[in-house]
A = this chain, B = another copy of it.
């Protein structure tokens, strides 16, 4: 078995995940305030907007203004999300984002039908077109992604074999255009995962596609997020997506108020306490988390921002001993 990594890469997706799903209009200036706050925490990759149809996602209608307004800090990759040519064009035109391509597939056909209204068979030529689009725009493709990798509300459990085959397809699509995938994101889009399932799937991918670095994108809808991340760590996974304060919610949950992405500061807390380097300042990140909560105006799922880190307690204990 792999050993727990000494260092992990945490990709922050809170601004995009969060502002996309929040009801009500969050002022552009406040979105920028959160992004600027996150830039002070040591995070080195922050997804700040999605370039989607403003009619479909009104909360992202100000994507260009957000991209124009935030304070770009050297050493940080600021990225955006898009779902089609138009979105990619907007991301490139914004001029302030790192634009990288990916092959994004779904392990569940019913989810693909529901989400993008196409079959797996119809999706393949569209993915090839997307690769052409990346090429035409001089955008490199090194990442792949498999949605619904653990289970699907519309297809049930997803077997590791299905995911392995989906990854093979992604590699073939990339290769047909001269791209070589280096990283594969496995997304537990609808929170079907458990630690045992994470170990099973990650192990299978490591065996079959050993050249790929695995990134876990875990939703916390059923409270398994941190446990699933720990299972990933135990398998040697060193890259995680997460959202500050647990921003994001879950559009597929059974009840309103369900948690979204695994919470960044809770993940950083676990890593810190287990001696795993993240490069992130937990105290600063907790401030960002409280700011996020203030901005959305309702409680967010993060635990450490409420329970407190152990730093101040350790300092008190040390001070009491010295006295």
Contact = CB atoms under 8 A, between A and B. Distances in A.
Given A155-B317, A263-B223, A302-B223, A307 B253 contact: yes
A293 B241 CA distance: 31
6 shortest A-B CB distances, which residue pairs?
A254-B308, A223-B303, A221-B307, A227-B227, A223-B266, A156-B317
B254 A223 contact: no
25 contacts: A153-B313, A153-B316, A153-B317, A154-B317, A156-B313, A194-B273, A194-B274, A196-B273, A196-B275, A197-B273, A220-B303, A221-B306, A221-B307, A222-B307, A223-B304, A224-B226, A224-B303, A230-B231, A253-B306, A254-B306, A254-B308, A254-B312, A255-B308, A258-B308, A299-B299
Interface string A287-323: 0000000000001011111111110111011101000
A66 B196 CA distance: 40
Nearest to A262: B223
A276 to B, nearest CB: 9
A92 interface: no
A80 B182 CA distance: 57
Contacts of A194: 270, 273-274
Interface in A190-227: 191-192, 194-197, 220-224, 226-227
Nearest to A256: B306
Contacts of A256: 306
A259 interface: yes
A43 to B, nearest CB: 19
A250 interface: yes
A196 B6 CA distance: 13
Contacts of A318: 156
Contact of A222 (B154, B253, B254, B266): B266
A151 interface: yes
A257 interface: yes
A277 to B, nearest CB: 14
Contacts of A231: 230
A269 interface: yes
A274 to B, nearest CB: 4
B196 A274 contact: yes
Given A196-B274, A317-B154, A259 B223 contact: no
A270 B223 CA distance: 9
A221 B269 CA distance: 12
Contact of A151 (B224, B230, B253, B310): B310
Given A156-B313, A194-B273, A259 B303 contact: yes
